[in-house]
Amino acid sequence: MALNFLISFFSIALMALLVSVNFRIGKFLNLSLGGLFAAGGYIAYFTSNPVIAVLSGLAFGFLLYIAISGICRSVIEATVLSLGAGILIERGLEIVHSSSYYYFVSFDYTNYLIVLGAVSYLAVFAAYISPAGLKIKFIESDHELAEMYGVNTKGVFSAATSLTSACAVLAGFFVSGSLAISPTTGFGYLISGIIVSAISAQLRQIGAVHYATLLAVSLAIAGLLEVLF
Amino acid sequence: MKKIITETSPIIIISAVLYTSPYSSWLFVLMTIYALLTISWLFMRMTGRISMGHSFLLGFPVFLASAGYSISPDVSAQLFLAGCFLSFTIFYIFSEFTGRTAFVFLTLVFSILIWIVSPKFAFEINGYILGGEVGFNFPVIPQKMLHIIAGASLISLFVLHRVVESSRIGYFMRAIGDDETASKAVGIDLRKTKALSVFLSGVSAWSAGLIYAFEFGHVSPEIFSIEFSVFPFIASLLASGNPLFSVFSSFALVYLSKVLNSFYPGLMGIFYSIVLILSPKIGRWAYVKGKRLDEKIR
């Protein structure tokens, strides 16, 4: 019971964290995270190797960073590009997914999602407390000004996109044991992440406080879902 | 007037040519559904609102209507009207209380949310469970009649778009699209103009939804799919925002989807995703080309 609640809480909180990091540092709504989450399930089904999940997530995130920084000039353009990337993954998975309606994996690593969620939040809090935290806050509040003052915005942006993509794929990999895998598996998680992130953003906080709010809102929503269902 | 006649004649010719065989007629109706969706999107874009969730405006009334049809045709008609009102209200609230960027996010997220939630909508009648991922049945009407209705709807809504575009209210809409604060300062009633833009967009999308339901005789949650949501954006992008070219690009995209999907199912989705990924580049290129073409025509 408590374990299920923790899994539900961390699945919402983790997706909200990934959406928020991309939006605050990369300045775009990363809609490819849903597709990446589903891709994690397929990697679990075909290879059972989490290293492949992490590496493919990192590679995809870096490619996404290159595409966005190369051709996009606004938040909307970058968001639409990430949507295209998400649809590309989903359609690619649909082509791969040919033998039956849903896939099921034989192992269950769902509990590791709790570890992944906790580690991700701790890493973000640590990043904000570290000397680099001030620079990240600077990028969050004014991206262009931070660049003018010599902050390595590109490095932070590429790291944020790559690491969050890897996290999304790994989350999908871990959760796959408790899911019926299909190309659209990730959309529900993505939407819940966006909703939590949007609610938390209303408080207009910067830095670690925002991520603490994400945890609180995720906890409230997970609690509400527990009561309702 | 001359311009409108010149622009509508190719649509009439295509409609007449495709009337000849059942398959081509079916394809024309399908093309028309997407072209109406694109016209609907263009109405909303006039006020600077880029909707990435137009599948909701198209699908919601007809989804409710098809659910109601399981009970009775009267309930179906009432639910359709209720769906039109609700979808109009929701999109109007979005356009009234959000900025341009937030509108893009909100419409997209909302349509994906409906897409995810709609398969959960099911109920039992006479021991049969209806809805869910399968969806609901809807009556079909004879193909030839549907062809004429679809063609007439497309031409009338295209003409309406052209008329509105060159009218006083059309200038107001474009002024809002350019600069909302300045439009307010010169006395344009933002609320009424935005409401009219959403309503006109709704009329076109609702017509497309009804024709869709009559064409397939069935409405499933797939009507809320991302493909429907991003289609008008892609069609308009490839046509550099020109309404006539947007109709033709919608036709071409539907035809292309038939060709590509016949090679391998799902190939069109890959094509859409590539266009979306390259959309910033394509958009700028198409904008410059469109401007030049516009100058040449003038």
The string of pLDDT tens digits covering residues B23-81 is 999 999 999 999 999 999 999 999 989 888 899 999 999 999 999 998 899 999 999 99
Name every residue whose Cβ is closer than 8 Å to that of residue A194 and which is 6 or more positions away in sequence.
A16, A19, A29, B109
Name the average pLDDT for chain B: 89
Q: Specify the pLDDT at position B290.
A: 67
Q: Specify the pLDDT at position B295.
A: 66
Establish if B164 belongs to a structural domain. yes
For chain A, percent of residues with pLDDT exceeding 90: 54
Q: Specify the pLDDT at position A57.
A: 96
Q: Specify the pLDDT at position A99.
A: 65
Query: Is the Cβ of A83 closer than 8 Å to some Cβ of chain B?
Result: yes
A201-205, B97-101, B152-156, B283-287: least confidently modelled range: B283-287
Q: Specify the pLDDT at position A44.
A: 92
Residue in chain A closest to B116 (alpha carbons) equals A188
Q: Specify the pLDDT at position A107.
A: 81
Establish if B233 belongs to a structural domain. no
Greater pLDDT, B91 or B295: B91
Across B247-254, average pLDDT = 91
Residue A130 C-alpha, separation from nearest chain B C-alpha, in angstroms: 32
Residue A116 C-alpha, separation from nearest chain B C-alpha, in angstroms: 25
> Which positions in chain A touch B108 (Cβ < 8 Å)?
31, 83
Q: Residue B160 corresponds to which amino acid?
A: L
> Which positions in chain A touch B281 (Cβ < 8 Å)?
71
Domain that holds residue B29: 2-225
CB distance B187 to B19 below 8 Å: no
Paired strand residues for B125 = B128
Q: Is the ipTM of this complex over 0.90?
A: no
pLDDT band at A213 (very low <50, low <70, confident <90, very high): very high
A80 contacts B105? CB cut-off 8 A:
no
Q: Say whether pLDDT at B174 is over 80.
A: yes
Q: Specify the pLDDT at position A1.
A: 64
Name every residue whose Cβ is closer than 8 Å to that of residue B100 and which is 6 or more positions away in sequence.
A76, B48, B49, B50
For chain A, percent of residues with pLDDT exceeding 70: 98
pLDDT tens, position by position, A5-55: 899 999 999 999 999 999 999 989 999 999 999 999 999 988 989 999 999
A67 contacts B116? CB cut-off 8 A:
no
Establish if B234 belongs to a structural domain. no
Q: Specify the pLDDT at position B112.
A: 87
Total tally of structural domains belonging to chain B? 1
CB distance B251 to B91 below 8 Å: no
Name every residue whose Cβ is closer than 8 Å to that of residue A181 and which is 6 or more positions away in sequence.
A38, A41, A42, A44, A45, A102, A103, A104, A105
Name the average pLDDT for chain A: 90
Q: Specify the pLDDT at position B223.
A: 92
Across B153-177, average pLDDT = 92
Q: Specify the pLDDT at position B133.
A: 84
What are the boundaries of each domain within chain A? 2-228
Q: Specify the pLDDT at position A100.
A: 62
Q: Specify the pLDDT at position A201.
A: 86
Paired strand residues for B137 = B218
Query: Is the Cβ of B261 closer than 8 Å to some Cβ of chain A?
Result: no
Query: What six digits make up the tokens of B172?
Result: 């107001």
Q: Say whether pLDDT at B296 is over 70.
A: no
Residue B145 C-alpha, separation from nearest chain A C-alpha, in angstroms: 35
Query: Is the Cβ of A228 closer than 8 Å to some Cβ of chain B?
Result: no
Residue A225 C-alpha, separation from nearest chain B C-alpha, in angstroms: 15
> Which positions in chain A touch B279 (Cβ < 8 Å)?
77, 80-81, 84
For chain B, percent of residues with pLDDT exceeding 90: 48
Across B214-234, average pLDDT = 90
Query: Is the Cβ of A226 closer than 8 Å to some Cβ of chain B?
Result: no
> Which positions in chain B touch A187 (Cβ < 8 Å)?
112, 115-116
Nearest by CB to residue A83, choosing from B115, B270, B276, is B276
pLDDT tens, position by position, A118-157: 999 999 999 999 988 888 999 988 888 988 888 899 999 9
Nearest to B159 by CA among B278, B56, B6: B6
Q: Say whether pLDDT at B298 is over 60.
A: no
Q: Specify the pLDDT at position A178.
A: 85
Q: Say whether pLDDT at A81 is over 80.
A: yes
> Which positions in chain A touch B116 (Cβ < 8 Å)?
184, 187-188, 191
DSSP letters of chain A?
-HHHHHHHHHHHHHHHHHHHHIIIII-S--TTHHHHHHHHHHHHHHT--HHHHHHHHHHHHHHHHHHHHHH--SHHHHHHHHHHHHHHHHHHHHHH--SSS-B--S---TTHHHHHHHHHHHHHHHHHHSTTHHHHHHHHH-HHHHHHTT--HHHHHHHHHHHHHHHHHHHHHHHGGGS-B-TTHHHHHHHHHHHHHHHHHTT---THHHHHHHHHHHHHHHHHHHHH-
Q: Specify the pLDDT at position B76.
A: 94
Q: Say whether pLDDT at A215 is over 90.
A: yes
B269 contacts A94? CB cut-off 8 A:
yes
Q: Specify the pLDDT at position B293.
A: 65
Q: Specify the pLDDT at position B109.
A: 86
A73 contacts B270? CB cut-off 8 A:
no
Q: Specify the pLDDT at position B35.
A: 95
A84 contacts B101? CB cut-off 8 A:
no
